[in-house]
Chains A and B, each alone.
Chain A
Amino acid sequence: AQTVTQSQPEMSVQEAETVTLSCTYDTSENNYYLFWYKQPPSRQMILVIRQEAYKQQNATENRFSVNFQKAAKSFSLKISDSQLGDTAMYFCAFMKLTGNQFYFGTGTSLTVIP
């Protein structure tokens, strides 16, 4: 079975600063996908960024980037120039290529402080 662990239940960051959210996972699969989803108070799940395991280059999307360490099974999310609208729950997710099942971490509640 796949497990996804987010060891930081809550974090806060000053507006305009940078914050890194941690995620580790456990799998015996070699090819898979990793995602970060954001869930604001509206509870809508929003895709933030995704990474293919076979790609060594870390994915970036504007202010969001990841540090993907396949050997260590680590997938952290870095948010630069934090904005008030970044306040939300962030979930790390793992997807197997076979079966299409997603596995979510327990989430990190991020608060951006003005």
Chain B
Amino acid sequence: QSVLTQPPSVSAAPGQKVTISCSGSSSNIGNNYVSWYQQLPGTAPKLLIYENNKRPSGIPDRFSGSKSGTSATLGITGLQTGDEADYYCGTWDSSLSAAGVVFGGGTKLTVL
């Protein structure tokens, strides 16, 4: 069971917008920065968002990130069939007994 909670799946039609949530606690999301990754089928994860809402070079502005309290959200607008993938959130967990990087369980995006 993952430390961060994501919905197992989301779906939307091409051209529409979708959001993926990532819920944590004060020891992780609440007091640290969140990153997001896209994993296309059969490939390694790729960085989409870092420091809650920043996009690496080459990532289109259709992808956005936000954070509020102990939750973070990935938004994708103008959905394309090529966006079908698994999406993961990640952050640092500052727990005294278990400090380290933690990830969500992943969300499968289906573009109908």
Decide whether A and B are members of one complex.
Answer: no
Interface residues of A (CB under 8 A from B): none
Interface residues of B (CB under 8 A from A): none
